[in-house]
Amino acid sequence: MNGFEPDVADAVRRALAEDIGTGDITTNLCVGADVRATGRMIARQSLILAGAELLPLIFADCGVILHHGSGARLDSGDEIAFVSGSARSLLTGERTALNFVQRLSGIATLTSAYVKAVNGTVCRILDTRKTTPGLRRLEKMAAAAGGAVNHRLGLYDAVLIKNNHIAAAGGVRAALERTRNAGVAVEIEVRTRAELDEALECGTAHLLLDNLTPAKAREWILHIAGRATVELSGGITLEKVRAYAETGADFVSCGAITHSAKAVDINFRLDLD
Catalytic residue among 24, 189, 231, 250: 189
Taking each helix axis from N to C terminus, what angle separates 193-201 and 214-224, rounded to the nearest 10 degrees?
Answer: 30
**Catalytic site residue 189?**
yes
Q: SS in 3 state form for 185-226?
A: CEEEEECCHHHHHHHHHCCCCEEEEECCCHHHHHHHHHHHCC
Q: What is the pLDDT of residues 111-143, one digit of tens each?
A: 999 999 999 999 999 999 999 999 999 999 999
**Largest Cα span, the chain:** 73
- Per-residue pLDDT for 237 more than 90? yes
How far, in Å, CA of 231 to CA of 253, rounded?
7
How far, in Å, CA of 232 to CA of 245, rounded?
9
What average pLDDT does range 186-214 have in this prediction? Answer: 97
* Homologous superfamily of domain range 6-109+262-272: Quinolinate phosphoribosyl transferase, N-terminal domain (3.90.1170.20)
- Per-residue pLDDT for 100 more than 90? yes
Q: What is the pLDDT of residues 162-179, one digit of tens each?
A: 999 999 999 999 999 999
Domain 115-259 grouped into CATH 3.20.20.70? yes
- Per-residue pLDDT for 2 more than 90? no
Amino acid 43: pLDDT:
98
How far, in Å, CA of 182 to CA of 214, rounded?
32
Amino acid 164: pLDDT:
96
Query: Could you tell me what percent of the chain has a pLDDT over 90?
Result: 97
**Catalytic site residue 130?**
yes
Locate all alpha helices (DSSP H) within 31-170, ordered by sequence.
Answer: 55-58, 87-117, 136-145, 163-169
Catalytic residue among 10, 19, 210, 219: 210
Amino acid 5: pLDDT:
85
- Mean pLDDT of the chain, nearest integer: 96
**Catalytic site residue 95?**
yes
Q: Could you report how far apart the first and last alpha carbons of the chain are, in Å?
A: 27
Amino acid 4: pLDDT:
77
**Catalytic site residue 162?**
yes
Q: What is the pLDDT of residues 38-84, one digit of tens each?
A: 999 999 999 999 999 999 999 999 999 999 999 999 999 999 999 99
Catalytic residue among 40, 130, 173, 240: 130
Amino acid 1: pLDDT:
42
Taking residue 86's Cβ as centre, other Cβ atoms within 10 Å add up to 19
**Catalytic site residue 5?**
no
The sign of the CA dihedral 172, 193, 125, 163 is: positive
- Per-residue pLDDT for 3 more than 70? no
Residue 149 φ/ψ, nearest 5 degrees: -95, 130
Catalytic residue among 162, 173, 191, 218: 162
Give residue limits of the domains in the chain: 6-109+262-272, 115-259
How far, in Å, CA of 241 to CA of 120, rounded?
13
Catalytic residue among 40, 44, 95, 218: 95
Q: What residues contact 242, with CB distance under 8 A and at least 6 apart?
A: 117, 118, 121
